[in-house]
Chains A and B, each alone.
Chain A
Amino acid sequence: DQQVKQNSPSLSVQEGRISILNCDYTNSMFDYFLWYKKYPAEGPTFLISISSIKDKNEDGRFTVFLNKSAKHLSLHIVPSQPGDSAVYFCAANSGGSNYKLTFGKGTLLTVNP
């Protein structure tokens, strides 16, 4: 039962263009969403997060949009750079009594020079 889904295993974009990574979730108890970036042989690095009470959060080139009614969020990277090439994981947290993150399977982003 995949509660967090990243339906695109891979995405390829040109340098300077926008990258849009998508994530869908099924558990309406999730109230916090995070995006992580992962290079091979390294642990996930926190990128940006959003609370369920917001619909947008920006941090530099990264913007996350949340559509609660559709149970959908997306990460926009503008402009994309070759160094952004990595696997991006969407994760969700339902707060409450523990700190469990539920992850999607990830999307491999390749930014071509």
Chain B
Amino acid sequence: DAGVTQSPTHLIKTRGQHVTLRCSPISGHKSVSWYQQVLGQGPQFIFQYYEKEERGRGNFPDRFSARQFPNYSSELNVNALLLGDSALYLCASSSYLTGGNTIYFGEGSWLTVV
């Protein structure tokens, strides 16, 4: 069975540009969450979607947005990129809305903003 898949794996963008990152959850998982990990820190929660509805939002500016599609895949969009947005963006997939140990991460998308 395929795990959580993310694309692209690496990308370089210029300040002010827009980026879209994509995630496909594990088959059967209806919840997708997004995390940002900057160097030397643990992952920081950005969004959670369950059954195509936003169920949680972390402390990130409105430049960050996301959505979940009918097939439970998800996109994370970041507008007006800043140098500080350079990070590893992780997608996590889970089968239940709350709690438990069924949270699995993809390998991430490395974003560099220059």
A residues near B (Cβ < 8 Å) are 4, 31-32, 34, 36, 41-46, 49, 89, 91, 93, 95-106
**A101 close to B43 (CB less than 8 A):** yes
Q: List the 10 closest pairs (A to B, CB-CB), nearest first.
A: A103-B42, A98-B56, A43-B105, A49-B101, A95-B99, A43-B107, A100-B45, A44-B105, A98-B55, A95-B98
Q: What residues of B have a CB within 8 angstroms of the CB of A103 in the complex? A: 42-44
Name B67-113 residues within 8 Å CB distance of A: 90, 92, 94, 96-101, 103-108
Bound Cα distance A40, B107 (Å): 10
Contact check, B42 vs A43: say whether CB atoms are below 8 A apart: no
Chain B CB within 10 Å — which of A44, A102, A103 has the most? A44
Contact B98 A44 (CB under 8 A): no
Q: Of B4, B50, B100, B106, which one neighbours A32 at CB under 8 angstroms?
A: B100
Shortest Cβ distance from residue A94 to the other chain B in the assembled complex, whole angstroms: 9
Q: Is the CB of B48 within 8 A of A99?
A: yes
Q: How far is the CB of B110 from chain A (nearest CB, A)?
A: 8
In the complex, what residues of B have CB within 8 A of residue A106's CB?
42
Let me know if B94 and A99 touch, CB within 8 A. Answer: yes
Quick one: given A93-B99, A99-B97, are A42 and B107 in contact (CB under 8 Å)? Answer: yes
Listed residue (B6, B92, B98) with the most chain A CB atoms within 10 angstroms of its CB: B98
- Given A34-B101, A105-B42, 4 other A-B residues pairs in contact with their CB atoms under 8 A: A44-B105, A46-B105, A96-B98, A98-B48
- A101 contacts B103, C-beta separation under 8 Å: yes
Known: A43-B90, A45-B105, A46-B103. A99 touches B43 (CB 8 A): no
- Most B-side CB within 10 Å, residue of A31, A100, A104: A100
Residue among A32, A43, A101, A105 facing the most chain B CB atoms (10 A cut-off): A43
Q: Which residues of A contact B101 (CB under 8 A)?
A: 32, 34, 46, 49
A43, A89, A99, A101 — most chain B CB neighbours (10 Å): A99
